[in-house]
Chain A
Amino acid sequence: MLGDDVLYATASELGQRLRLRQISPVELTESYLARIEALDPKLHAFVTPTPKLALEQARQAEKEIAAGKYRGPLHGLPYGVKDLLATKGIRTTWGARPFEGQTFDFDATVIERLRAAGAILLGKLAMIELAGGLGYSIPGASLTGATLNPWSLDRWTCGSSSGSGAAVSAGLASFAIGSETWGSIVCPSSFCGVSGIRPTFGRISRYGAMALSWTLDKLGPMARSAEDLDTLLAVLSGHDPLDDWSASEPPHRPLPPARAKGLKAALVRPDYSKGGEAEVGVTFDNAVTALKSAGMAIDEVKLPDLPFEEVATVMLTVEAASAFEDLFRDGRVRGLVDRASALAAGNARLVTGVDYVKASRIRTLCQKAMRDFFDKWDVLLTPGEPVTAFPANMSYEEAEKEQWPDPVGGMGNLCGLPAVSVPCGFAKNLPVGLCIVGGAFEEGKVLGVAKYFQTLTDWHRKRPPLA
């Protein structure tokens, strides 16, 4: 079996070694499967491991690479996928009891693209039930219970891409696919100390993905470095006629880290007096100082004074209630873990059609304001989350007391803008993320700054203290 140094290598490093036949896809896959078997009982990152399929795909990759049929930088790389993407013949639970036995007869576009690139599917990853679409209050709101944080097993990973964060952080896969409607990639990336990107809305096809909010859902990769995210985004992005909302913009083009140094960055600092942990602020400030010291121009600014969060709330509430209307109608909502779920339809009923259209019109203003903002600045810097991972066994009563501001998340998701979270240090011995947001379809800049940061620091190389 391969050791931790190999299993924790970045996807880019592993890809290079696979291409040069220094390691074998079969050996690499077997090593990850063994690690999953040993560690996942502690973490609950996987819903459905797929060892048989993984070994079949690994053997095929080995044959192809040996025969000189190299498919590209993902060939032979084992990965996991959030369990809201359809996989032919393998159950797709959406993290929810009512869908525990659900199986599709087709693969999601993302799965197809990864298979075509020669990547190896290790299994389906745990998630918050229905990606939190009907609300959730506790970390355990999932078919498989709370996913535990590899950095401290009494802490949560955040959600809803819980298993994706844990699997990458614990070295159970070389990369993972997650999804974000609002915070579901950025938060677990921050809590678990991994690199994750929420791409521009429409950048990656959602065909075959569970729909929670048609105007807010995005899929994105999580990995061990920003360079890996660059590679993954290049493979996953591109128009898909099967997704009506798939964008037709030119493919993602990576920006060399050295060029990112010359970009202009805006800094949006959370108001810790309204929530969050001051220790996170210190760690984040150190990250900003590292970028400034290296020559990057950074100005502290405020977001345009627009109701980003209120508008997103109204639209999301209604779209989610529509997406899962059948669950209310036939009573299956009672099969969900979280007690908030049963109330979601009632919440949505308060919003009228006029409210929804009005919210959509205000959204237009918000988009234009942020387009102007990113005409002035190339990227925006803010903490991934202003808090560190919190206890995994919180009760409803304890959860009621948890509050923290999210000044940029509402804006970024409402406007469909890309954001990456990369590890930038620790607070209370738990990971802290540096979040870099950019203009629409400007993932090159966002990832360029992230890569530049990772040339200056080695936080992304830190490993959790797992046995």
Chain B
Amino acid sequence: MVSETKPQMTRREVGRLLLSVPAATLIIAEARADEGPSETAEFLAAHEPGLSPDERERLRKGFVDEEKALRVVREFNLAPNVTPSLRFHALASGK
């Protein structure tokens, strides 16, 4: 029913991305030599407001790893009946 796409990143590579994880926040994402950011990422890095040139470059490099996590999510095959884990409840009136 559900076919799963195997992750294309190692856990170690993913760990480089995590922002608020102590186990990973000590790691600043670095670009892999063999691939660069996507065109979208390049655009975002170039246009993100308020960054210095150095920060802009670090953001651009960081996007490489960010995009690896996104690729795993985007390429994961899901059956249509799999619902989000987010909860929504209609609120009844207090009457």
Chain A residues packing against B (C-beta within 8 Å)? 128, 131-138, 158-160, 181-184, 187-188, 212-213, 215, 245, 274-275, 305-307, 309-314, 316-317, 320, 331, 339-340, 342-347, 349-351, 355, 357-365, 367, 385, 390, 394, 396, 399-400, 402-407, 409-410
Residue of B whose beta carbon sits closest to that of A386 = B23
**If the complex has contacts A132-B22, A346-B51, A361-B83, are A310 and B72 also in contact, measured as CB distance less than 8 A?**
yes
* A183: chain B residues within 8 A (beta carbon): 21-23
Pair B23/A361 contact, Cβ less than 8 Å: no
A301 to chain B, nearest CB (A): 16
Partner pick for B59 among A313, A346, A400, CB 8 A cutoff: A346
Chain A to chain B contacts (Cβ below 8 Å), 9 pairs = A128-B22, A182-B18, A182-B20, A183-B21, A316-B18, A316-B19, A340-B25, A343-B55, A346-B51
> What's the Cα separation between A309 and B73 when bound, in Å?
10
Pair B22/A159 contact, Cβ less than 8 Å: yes
Can you add 11 more A-B contacts, CB < 8 Å, to A183-B22, A399-B26?
Answer: A132-B20, A136-B19, A158-B22, A182-B21, A307-B7, A309-B69, A340-B19, A355-B74, A362-B78, A364-B83, A402-B27
B30 to chain A, nearest CB (A): 7
Number of A-B contacts (CB under 8 A): 186
Chain B residues packing against A (C-beta within 8 Å)? 2, 4, 6-7, 9-12, 14-28, 30, 40-41, 44-45, 48, 50-51, 55, 58-59, 62-63, 66-70, 72-74, 76, 78, 82-87
Pair B66/A362 contact, Cβ less than 8 Å: no
Pair B12/A160 contact, Cβ less than 8 Å: no
B72 to chain A, nearest CB (A): 4
Pair A350/B19 contact, Cβ less than 8 Å: no
Partner pick for B73 among A187, A245, A359, CB 8 A cutoff: A359
Partner pick for A406 among B15, B70, B82, B86, CB 8 A cutoff: B15
Pair B28/A364 contact, Cβ less than 8 Å: no
B84 to chain A, nearest CB (A): 4
> What's the Cα separation between A403 and B67 when bound, in Å?
19
